Amino acid sequence: MNPIVQLIAVETSKPSLQDNTGDLDRLRKAIELSSGMTPVIPFSCMARVAKDFRQADFKGTAVVNDMGHTMELVDFLKDTPALLPAMALDLGTTHLEAALINLVDGNILSRSNLENRQIQYGADILTRIHFAGKGNGLDVLHNEIVSTINQLTEDLALQAGVTADNIRALSVSGNTTMVHLFLGLDPYHLCREPYTPLVNWPDLCLASDLRLIIHPHAPVWVMPSVGSYFGGDLISGILASGLDEKEEVCMLIDVGTNAEVVLGNREWLIACAGAAGPALEGGIAAMGMRAGPGAIERVTIDPETLELKYKTIDGSPPKGICGSGIIDLVASFYLSRIIDIRGKFRADRCPSRFVQTSQGPAFVVATEEESADGNPVIFGQVDLDAMMRSKAAMYSILTTLTNQVGVGFGDLDKIYVAGAFGRHIDPKQAITLGMLPDLPLETFEPIGNSSLAGAERVLMEKKSRDNCRKLINKITYLELNVNQEFMIRFSGSRFIPHTDTSLFPSVPVFD
Amino acid sequence: MNPIVQLIAVETSKPSLQDNTGDLDRLRKAIELSSGMTPVIPFSCMARVAKDFRQADFKGTAVVNDMGHTMELVDFLKDTPALLPAMALDLGTTHLEAALINLVDGNILSRSNLENRQIQYGADILTRIHFAGKGNGLDVLHNEIVSTINQLTEDLALQAGVTADNIRALSVSGNTTMVHLFLGLDPYHLCREPYTPLVNWPDLCLASDLRLIIHPHAPVWVMPSVGSYFGGDLISGILASGLDEKEEVCMLIDVGTNAEVVLGNREWLIACAGAAGPALEGGIAAMGMRAGPGAIERVTIDPETLELKYKTIDGSPPKGICGSGIIDLVASFYLSRIIDIRGKFRADRCPSRFVQTSQGPAFVVATEEESADGNPVIFGQVDLDAMMRSKAAMYSILTTLTNQVGVGFGDLDKIYVAGAFGRHIDPKQAITLGMLPDLPLETFEPIGNSSLAGAERVLMEKKSRDNCRKLINKITYLELNVNQEFMIRFSGSRFIPHTDTSLFPSVPVFD
């Protein structure tokens, strides 16, 4: 497997007049002999390693970090540890998710998540980039993300019964902006044409460089990006789905702040990203929320009686509606003809379920009596319009991408759907909306938090770390911001299911 | 040449929608294309390098450090500098000598030297090792050497008209103990059987690791050692003399605190070291001093009239006598029969030149009227005995070493004599004493401060840096501390010129 921190059993002859090689040179030679690698010994580790090696009577376990370009000998232990914790982190714009892994056996020791404290300075990426450009904004955002990570680290460590400074490595998977802010790098050009990152592939650094509370000499691996809108989180997704090793052509869809899509197999990979995300994550709708306690995740409306049923994630009274709930809701609107094919409310179908707001009429999903806080959960025309744009963007992204390489949807063996979006949505409803292509439902495979899963992989496997390099050189990135075809397809997709209904044979058509 | 810090001219295309590769990745690719190397970008340099690269409009000069195991991109300059100063340092037990070199063209910018401030805690290596073992002694010695180096740096910089933080690299050549103290490493085992260094080959570190006042990201190269008594200074000597590239068998003699000797050619190298040094450096004699102003460096005594003539280095009134003066003096004693073949004074030859001291009779080299400070420069039996031991040790080292590999002195093409010893001594007088073998005088070639010259070479040439690795693996080290043959030869050498006078046909024999 060759994890990012390796334990190498060493036993050397003791110094003698016949061989009075220096202690560290003796140790290095022994490591070379048993592992084939010649580690560098960083200045800050020399005195300590030499002392420990002698105290252990020239026998024990060397701790060697894979720094990518070089192997670094950082510790010498008398005994072989059973536990070597390392932290994998999905560094999301709104949320951080992390796992503590034992590098000795690959077992998960603990999991945790936390809201990104940067949120107080801006909900989305663009706001934060602008904030970073003002005064000491970059420092503020950098410090917030480091302290969020440190807090998350303490929780992971506590759960696993270890101390934070026992954590010997960190891998970070995030979008390009989050990675820049994490590393304290200016994100200014990320959102300005031609959308250039300061760096795609940051070399490994040390935890102490970033004031992280894990072991100061822990290597910090940051997933490389392909571009401003194609971050390391998606490289993680490719690793986690195994897309780059498939014989058949497959697709990976990751909906976060953006919708990011990769198409390909072990021969080739093409990718693009577009702003299809926020509505699907529940981020745009007035009552939208992340998939969590109190979030309506399932909705059905009887097409005849128009009776509405919903289900919250934990069965508690509803507080809002998450992405999958919104997709269910809008698909049900369509099937029960509460909206027309353009996504406009037909309030006359059930006037009693509508209320007037300052933004116009809104549909009541849960009444004030049912809700958690006495406020009804409503869904207005504005929310509906945002949803229509998102679904149109999503389908246009998928068609533009497949068309670019002459692949039909029917050629796809699998569509891996990552994240909360993949876990919660009902593909059938998404097809009804014309958001996902009309394929057999078994084509769609949810793969969970693939950003985190990829981060876990690079901690455990050298092959995955090496694959990252190959991946970023292999991927062709299709820039949609300037793509004419995308704009044309986008217009055609702003109907339910589509202007060309023949693309969606399984979806009923109403006149 | 590939100096330790390299300037690489770079011009890249500007970011565009067709190629929005990250700034640092763009720069790295350009360096790869023009130089074939893929540098790592240290975390601490990323933001600055990226900013400077953009400000220079993607065109300029990359500054890349050769860290041995990896190349590190540390700076980006708009213009190509004409000056890239680097410091070569001979880190002596008593004295530091340094040169500032322009890495762009190899020219010497300035030279300077300074007494090692550690001297206040012990004149020789053993005293310092003991001092390092008490309380915070190691820290004290480490700090003293760092501050001595920093003071020397300021002088070098001032002379060259640059600032200290403009100095982009440092190479250090010193004996194994000095290197340990410089790096803050415990020298405890260096003087205790089996005489094991903590490290032979320290990996490169940065100036900031050691609180040096040169550029914080300057690489610090430390010459590797073969053993406790065979330091990096002698590796420098081999590089400087070119011993490891000769077809013929040659010898290198470096007399500092110890006498260190290397024998061999491009095929093989054997080395040893022994305590023959202090007397020859002027360190043991009561009136002994380093070769400097006021030091008597030449002495002749007329064998008939016993008239004595001397010459000080700068022609000023004498303060003491340096190594070459002592050798001249003792050889003249022998030729004028003022001492016998066992090195004992025959005061009756010239009673007027002797005075009585608490240590017994002493020979007056310069009277109190002649001397700089009103004290006569005298040379006693104790000094004479030390000199006899030194010369015996030296000849025994040379014979033991040559005998070990079956080489006769006559087989030697050259004997390179390093340091002040090589610069000042008259080989003919040393032969008279039986200190050096009785070979044609042109065999002996002084090569100056080869420790410093080797340090200069590694700054300028990658080949020399690579050669160090080969050298330390190639050299066979003969441990004299436990060598029976050496002890026997030592006894035989305690006569002038030798018990076996046939070994010195050119030296007159008295009965």
pLDDT digits (tens, 9 = 90+) for A337-392: 999 999 999 999 999 999 999 988 999 999 999 999 999 999 999 889 988 988 99
What pLDDT was estimated at residue A410?
A: 96
Give residue for tokens 């590797």. Answer: B224
Name the amino acid, one letter, at B45.
C
Retrieve residue A97's tokens.
Answer: 């998710």
- Chain A environment of B20 (Cβ under 8 Å): 194-197, 227-228, 479
- Higher model confidence: residue A168 or residue B424? A168
Distance CA B426, CA B414 (A): 16
Listed by number, the residues of chain B in 395-434 with a beta carbon closer than 8 Å to a beta carbon of chain A are none
A47/B482 touch (CB, cutoff 8 Å), yes or no: no
pLDDT band at B209; cut points 50, 70, 90: very high
Q: Is the CB of residue A479 less than 8 Å away from at least one CB of chain B?
A: yes
A17, pLDDT greater than 90: no
> Any CB–CB contact under 8 A between A191 and chain B?
no
Name, in order, each residue with C-beta under 8 angstroms of A346's C-beta and a sequence gap of 6 or more.
A337, A338, A339, A340
User: Would you identify the CATH topology of the domain B5-77?
Assistant: Ubiquitin-like (UB roll) (3.10.20)
- Give yes or no for residue B258 having a pLDDT over 80: no
Mutation target vs B (from A12, A17, A20; most B CBs, 10 A cutoff):
A20
Q: Do B41 and A203 touch (CB under 8 A)?
A: yes
Q: Return the sign of the alpha-carbon dihedral for residues A489, A492, A493, A498.
A: negative
- To the nearest whole angstrom, how far is the Cα of A362 from the nearest Cα of chain B? 42
Query: Which of residues 6 through 25 in chain B touch A, CB cutoff 8 A?
Result: 15-17, 20-25
In this prediction, does ipTM exceed 0.85?
yes
Set of chain B residues whose Cβ sits within 8 Å of the Cβ of A41: 199, 202-203
Look at residue B427 in the predicted model and tell me its pLDDT: 94
Compare all CA atoms of chain A with the CA of B220 and give the residue at the minimum distance: A43
* Global pTM value: 0.92
Q: How far is CA A171 from CA A232, A307, A456, A464, B331, in A?
A: 11, 48, 7, 12, 72
* Rounded CA separation B174/B183 (Å): 12
* A-contacting residues in B 355-384 (Cβ below 8 Å): none
Closest in B40, B198, B482 to A23, CB measured? B198
Return the CATH number of B242-278+387-503, one of 3.30.420.40, 1.10.260.40, 3.40.50.10490, 3.20.20.70. Answer: 3.30.420.40
Domain A85-222 shares a fold with domain A242-278+388-503? yes
Can you tell me the mean pLDDT for A80-90? Answer: 97
Average pLDDT, rounded, for chain A? 94
Residue from the list B43, B51, B184 with its beta carbon closest to the beta carbon of A205: B43
| Closest among A381, A448, A449, A462 to A67, alpha carbons compared | A462
DSSP lists the bridge partners of residue A6 as A64
Helix ranges (DSSP H) in A232-377: 232-241, 277-280, 323-335
Mean pLDDT on B9-31: 95
Cβ–Cβ below 8 Å for B196 and A24: no
B206 touches chain A (CB under 8 A): yes
Nearest CB among A15, A198, A482 relative to B23 is that of: A198
Interface of B with A in 53-92 (CB under 8 A): 68-70
Give the residue from B387, B378, B361, B393 showing the smallest Cα distance to B284: B387
- Dihedral angle over CA of A401, A404, A409, A410, nearest 10: -160
Q: Does B199 contact A at CB distance below 8 Å?
A: yes
- Give tens-digit pLDDT for A150-203: 999 999 999 999 999 999 999 999 999 999 999 999 999 999 989 999 999 999
- As its CATH architecture, domain B85-222 has 2-Layer Sandwich (3.30)
The topology (CATH level 3) of A242-278+388-503 is Nucleotidyltransferase; domain 5 (3.30.420)
Please say whether the beta carbons of A238 and A228 come within 8 A: no
For A479, the closest of B17, B51, B185 (CB atoms) is B17
Cβ-Cβ contacts under 8 Å for A173 (sequence gap 6 or more)? A88, A89, A90, A91, A223, A232, A233, A235, A236, A451, A452, A454, A455
Tell me if the bond preceding A194 is cis, omega within 30° of 0: yes
Question: Which range is least confidently modeled, A102-116, A478-492, B234-248?
Answer: A478-492
Residues of A in contact with B194 (CB under 8 A): 15-17, 20
Q: What is the mean pLDDT of chain B?
A: 94
Instruction: Decide if B193 and A17 are in contact by the 8 Å CB cutoff.
Output: yes
Say yes or no to pLDDT of A286 above 80: no
